[in-house]
Amino acid sequence: MIFSWLRRRRRKALLAEPIPEEWVGWLMELPFYQGLDAGERGRLHDILRVIVAEKDWEGCAGFEITDEVKVVISAQAALLVLQIDHNYYRRVKTILVYPSSYKTGRPDWQSGGIVEEGGGHNLGEAWYRGPVILSWDSVRYGAEDPKDAHNLVLHEFAHKLDMSDGTIDGTPPLRDRQDYRDWARVMTEEYDVLRGKAKKGRRSVLNRYGATNEAEFFAVATESFFEKPLQMEKRHAELYGLLKTYFRQDPAERLRRAAAEDRGN
């Protein structure tokens, strides 16, 4: 109980201070951040600052952890929980960052992660009751290209949302029984469709890596929801609506709003 009180006190003191201007400069370089309105940016600032402060950050293979590294990673993780109830990824104690892809043994799919095809070179992992592991060059690439549906941070932290109910099954904690029924129906249908397309080598809005298992499907769908929202909304309307309800965000509408503002300038 006393630890919770101390944590709340530290967070209150942290958020009472203005966000460093240098941090805002790094955020402005992220395309997704530019699409947020003032209120969303304010919430993102608060969430990312707590993540930066409360996680143990470790560089691997000689990689140096800088404030920019922490801010860029934390901002993307914060985007997922911008509008939903969260505990700042409480079970993530440590974030490990490699300079680039790293060699491991045989991948353990129960951990959740991304593995490059061929050679077992990992780009990232999310371990249940363990760390999130990321390769920095993949983090940067995913952040700088907001339309390719490849975003390592969104993928791995989506796994952490999935794991927050104690299971790794592609279903994060939902509000009620009806939400669970809707989730099971839509996700199962879409997962089966993607598996069929992957077997036939057919393209989809969703990366075929999502056909690996249900947990990877949720992580891949999350990437597409935030990075290809217009395409998902058009071709996978029920899936888009499901994720819109869960995340309480509408990335497609953000893009339409941004486009209208550009036309007005």
Please state the rounded mean pLDDT for residues 40-48.
98
Q: Where are the domains of the chain?
A: 21-260
The separation between CA 247 and the C-alpha centre of its own chain, rounded to angstroms, equals 11
* Superfamily holding 21-260: Collagenase (Catalytic Domain) (3.40.390.10)
pLDDT tens by residue, 153-195? 999 999 999 999 999 999 999 999 999 999 999 999 999 999 9
Distance of CA 235 to the CA centre of its chain: 22
Strand ranges in 33-182 using DSSP code E only, listed in sequence order: 56-59, 94-98, 102-103, 113-115, 121-126, 132-135
**Amino acid letter at 147?**
K
Residue 116's pLDDT is 47
Answer yes or no: pTM beyond 0.85.
yes
Where residue 108 falls among pLDDT bands split at 50, 70, 90? low
Residue 183's alpha-carbon distances to 105, 136, 145, 222, 239, in angstroms, are 34, 33, 29, 14, 9
Q: What is the average pLDDT across 220-239?
A: 97
Q: What is the mean pLDDT of residues 98-116?
A: 66
